[in-house]
């Protein structure tokens, strides 16, 4: 089998039709995808991604008392919403048994571009190995970085590079039976970035230092959400690979 593995450093760099028939991983390490993984690991029934604040309000109203509204604009909680976008807010006590109707500036927006995909997975460092495992037998994979306000972000590129690295190594280890890999240039860029960062991490700096100095990391520090960066850097805290069900439009 030839595996086609394509990284997209921003949603605007790829036409939605490209995803048709393929498995897409949406990546917004700081913080939407990290928070969604936390919510589901805490027992939330589902997360429903919405584009606009008003769409989310309508959807939550339709779902009644089982729904909670979550998300952010400019990193801050939205007026009248139950939850912001900090992973820690999504504790079992708060979200177990609830459906989270969520809208964020970039992360949920990126998900809305994936309607034509065959599968849509939600990836972040907190569920890194589960995502790699879910992609093992997929022939066509796209890693979609959400970025921030149409700017490429380091944290999303590093995660994409880490997934590429894992898949490259797994295929190499399998030898001739592993098949061939077709990787786009954005995938090679992400792989180089991750390998350089990993080398540095072996010497001294931890992943959290890389995330702190990223654009998204600096934004979070500015608005007093430093702790969310530590949480986002907690590799493999969870072993779930949430998937956006394309017919019901729920992440489970
Ligand atoms: C987003 O979707 O834009 C991010 O998750 C922003 C944030 O850090 O809250």
Task: Measure 178 CA to ligand 1 centroid, in angstroms.
Answer: 36
Digit-coded pLDDT (tens) for 93-105: 999 999 999 999 9
Task: Measure 217 CA to ligand 1 centroid, in angstroms.
Answer: 10
Q: Does ligand 1 lie within 6 Å of residue 104's CB atom?
A: yes
CA 108 to ligand 1: nearest atom: 2
Query: CA–CA separation, 94 vs 115, rounded Å?
Result: 30
Helix, strand or coil, per DSSP, at residue 152:
coil
Q: Does ligand 1 lie within 6 Å of residue 155's CB atom?
A: no
Task: Measure 247 CA to ligand 1 centroid, in angstroms.
Answer: 25
What confidence category does residue 40 fall into, taking pLDDT thresholds of 50, 70 and 90? Answer: very high
* Omega cis (within 30) before 31: yes
Q: What is the 3-state secondary structure (H, E, C) of 5-66?
A: EEEECCHHHCCHHHHECCEEEEECCCCHHHHHHHHHHCCCCEEEECCCHHHHHHHHHHHHHH
Digit-coded pLDDT (tens) for 155-205: 999 999 999 999 999 999 988 787 899 999 999 999 999 999 999 888 777
Q: What mean pLDDT comes out for the span 87-97?
A: 98
CA 31 to ligand 1: nearest atom: 5
The model scores a pTM over 0.75? yes
Digit-coded pLDDT (tens) for 131-141: 999 999 999 99
pLDDT at 132: 98
Task: Measure 179 CA to ligand 1 centroid, in angstroms.
Answer: 37
| Angle separating helix axes 128-135 and 154-174, nearest 10 degrees | 50
Q: Which residues partner with 99 through β-bridges?
A: 46, 67
Digit-coded pLDDT (tens) for 226-236: 999 999 999 99
Q: What mean pLDDT comes out for the span 71-84?
A: 97
With contact defined as beta carbons under 8 Å apart, do 244 and 251 qualify?
Answer: yes
Task: Measure 206 CA to ligand 1 centroid, in angstroms.
Answer: 22
H helices within the chain, ranges in order? 32-41, 53-63, 92-95, 107-111, 128-135, 154-174, 185-203, 207-212, 215-222, 226-232
Listed as own residue / partner, the contacts of 91-97 with beta carbons closer than 8 Å and 24 or more positions apart are 91/42, 92/42, 92/43, 94/42, 94/68, 95/39, 95/42, 95/43, 95/44, 95/68, 96/42, 96/43, 96/44, 97/43, 97/44, 97/45, 97/66
Q: Does ligand 1 lie within 6 Å of residue 30's CB atom?
A: yes
In the chain, % of residues over pLDDT 70: 100
Q: Does ligand 1 lie within 6 Å of residue 28's CB atom?
A: yes
Q: Could you tell me which residues come within 8 angstroms of residue 233 by beta carbon, excluding any fewer than 6 positions away?
A: 125, 206, 207, 208, 211
Q: Does ligand 1 lie within 6 Å of residue 106's CB atom?
A: yes
Task: Measure 30 CA to ligand 1 centroid, in angstroms.
Answer: 6
With contact defined as beta carbons under 8 Å apart, do 159 and 125 qualify?
Answer: yes
What confidence category does residue 91 fall into, taking pLDDT thresholds of 50, 70 and 90? Answer: very high
pLDDT at 176: 75
């Amino acid at each position: 089998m030839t595996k086609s593995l394509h990284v997209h450093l921003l949603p605007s760099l790829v036409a939605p039709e490209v995803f048709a028939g393929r498995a897409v991983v949406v990546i917004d390490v700081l913080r939407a995808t990290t928070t969604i993984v936390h919510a589901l690991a805490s027992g939330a029934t589902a997360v429903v991604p919405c584009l606009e604040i008003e769409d989310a309000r309508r959807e939550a109203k339709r779902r009644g008392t089982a729904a909670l509204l979550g998300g952010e604009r400019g990193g801050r909680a939205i007026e009248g919403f139950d939850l912001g976008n900090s992973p820690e807010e999504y504790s079992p006590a708060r979200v177990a048994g609830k459906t989270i109707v969520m809208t964020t500036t970039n992360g949920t927006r990126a998900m809305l571009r994936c309607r034509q995909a065959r599968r849509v997975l939600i990836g972040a460092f907190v569920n890194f190995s589960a995502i790699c495992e879910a992609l093992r037998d997929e022939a066509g994979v796209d890693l979609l970085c959400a970025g921030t306000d149409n700017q490429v972000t380091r944290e999303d590129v590093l995660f994409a590079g880490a997934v590429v690295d894992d898949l490259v190594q797994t295929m190499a280890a399998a030898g001739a039976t592993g098949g061939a890999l077709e990787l786009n240039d954005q995938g090679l860029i992400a792989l180089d970035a991750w390998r350089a960062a990993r080398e540095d991490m072996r010497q001294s700096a931890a992943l959290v230092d890389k995330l702190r100095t990223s654009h998204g990391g600096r934004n979070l520090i500015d608005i007093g959400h430093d702790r969310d960066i530590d949480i986002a850097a907690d590799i493999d805290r969870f072993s779930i690979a949430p998937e956006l069900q394309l017919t019901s439009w729920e992440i489970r």
